[in-house]
């Protein structure tokens, strides 16, 4: 009996640790609440000397500074952070530095495909809906690595490790297809993501096998076909 209990516990652990396939689903953030967010857990945490992040967002938000993705460590709360700032430009934080990307428009009430890359030379680049930014230094010291002890959330900004949320950084709307890599993905891979083609999923965070936990009123929903922007024939 004891052995059976042990086996059942191991099976439960294996299922829980595998992550969920969220293909065709979205994270919904239905209100500009201070506590609404989703925590994401990599299969294996490791120090990151470079990274890529891709996701899609759908919103009607035009004010404040919503944050899509926030990776914080005990020492660096903005270790890797992507927000849309008041004024409509996008900001990537890396460690204690940041780079701003201006001159981009994005769809309100429509999907936006976004990728950011940060390489070992400290050069970052931002992509949205097929447009690429210039390649910019974030001015974080070269050779710096994101420490292993990180906490990752989407839909808010961590001003302290795992918390420190502010209403001004709340995201309202939907996020989907969140992928993160421990390296810089190729321009071709970025383009494939933007075109919603089949991609090599993130090797650090993978939407098709994601460990996550929703908090507050954030929740997982099936992606409505009306949110795809595509017509269904048999409706």
Asked if residue 155 lies in contact with residue 170, where contact means CB atoms within 8 angstroms, the answer is: yes
Residue 157 in the binding site for Ca ion (CB under 5 A):
yes
- Toward Ca ion, which CB reaches closer, 124 or 169? 169
Give the CA distances from residue 4 to residues 7, 12, 14, 98, 216, in Å, rounded to whole numbers and listed in that order. 5, 12, 15, 53, 36
Residue 74 CB, nearest approach to Ca ion (Å): 17
Q: Nearest CA to 19 among 211, 170, 178, 173?
A: 211
Residue count at the site for Ca ion (CB under 5 A)?
Answer: 4
Give the CA distances from residue 15 to residues 45, 59, 98, 159, in Å, rounded to whole numbers and listed in that order. 19, 33, 38, 32
Q: Nearest CA to 145 among 50, 42, 17, 63?
A: 50
Those residues whose C-beta lies under 8 Å from the C-beta of residue 153, and which sit 6 or more positions away, are: 37, 38, 39, 40, 69, 70, 162
- Is 5 strand, coil or helix? helix
Asked if residue 183 lies in contact with residue 97, where contact means CB atoms within 8 angstroms, the answer is: no
- Toward Ca ion, which CB reaches closer, 119 or 159? 159
Residue 86 in the binding site for Ca ion (CB under 5 A):
no
- Toward Ca ion, which CB reaches closer, 59 or 77? 77
- Toward Ca ion, which CB reaches closer, 38 or 199? 38
Residue 49 CB, nearest approach to Ca ion (Å): 26
* From 18-26, 112-120, 155-163, 194-202, span contacting Ca ion (CB under 5 A): 155-163
Residues of span 160-179 touching Ca ion by CB under 5 A = 166, 169
Give the residue, chosen from 32, 97, 129, 159, that forms a contact with Ca ion under the rule CB under 5 A: 159
Residue 47 CB, nearest approach to Ca ion (Å): 24
Length of the chain measured in residues: 235
- Toward Ca ion, which CB reaches closer, 85 or 132? 85
Residue 156 in the binding site for Ca ion (CB under 5 A):
no
- Toward Ca ion, which CB reaches closer, 59 or 70? 70
Beta bridge mates, 222: 25
Site string for Ca ion, 98-137 (x = CB under 5 A): ----------------------------------------
Identify the residue whose tokens are 């890797």.
Answer: 80
- Toward Ca ion, which CB reaches closer, 157 or 177? 157
Question: Which stretches of the chain bind Ca ion, using CB under 5 A?
Answer: 157, 159, 166, 169
């Amino acid at each position: 009996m004891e052995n059976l209990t042990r086996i059942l516990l191991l099976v439960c652990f294996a299922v829980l640790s595998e992550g969920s396939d969220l293909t065709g689903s979205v994270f919904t953030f239905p209100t500009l609440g201070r506590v609404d967010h989703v925590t994401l857990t990599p299969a294996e945490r490791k120090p990151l000397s470079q990274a890529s992040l891709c996701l899609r967002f759908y919103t009607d938000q035009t004010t404040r500074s919503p944050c899509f993705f926030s990776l914080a460590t005990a020492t660096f709360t903005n270790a890797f952070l992507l927000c849309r700032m008041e004024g409509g430009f996008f900001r990537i934080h890396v460690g204690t530095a940041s780079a701003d990307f201006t001159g981009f428009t994005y769809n309100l009430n429509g999907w936006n495909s976004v990728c950011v890359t940060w390489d070992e030379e400290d050069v970052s680049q931002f992509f949205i809906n097929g447009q690429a930014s210039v390649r910019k230094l974030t001015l974080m010291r070269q050779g710096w690595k994101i420490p292993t002890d990180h906490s990752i959330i989407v839909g808010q900004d961590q001003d302290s490790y795992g918390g420190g949320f502010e209403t001004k950084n709340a995201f309202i709307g939907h996020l989907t297809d969140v992928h993160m890599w421990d390296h810089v993905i190729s321009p071709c891979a970025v383009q494939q993501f933007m075109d919603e083609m089949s991609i090599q999923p993130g090797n650090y965070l993978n939407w098709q096998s994601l460990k996550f936990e929703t908090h507050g009123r954030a929740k997982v929903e099936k992606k409505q076909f009306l949110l795809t922007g595509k017509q269904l024939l048999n409706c």
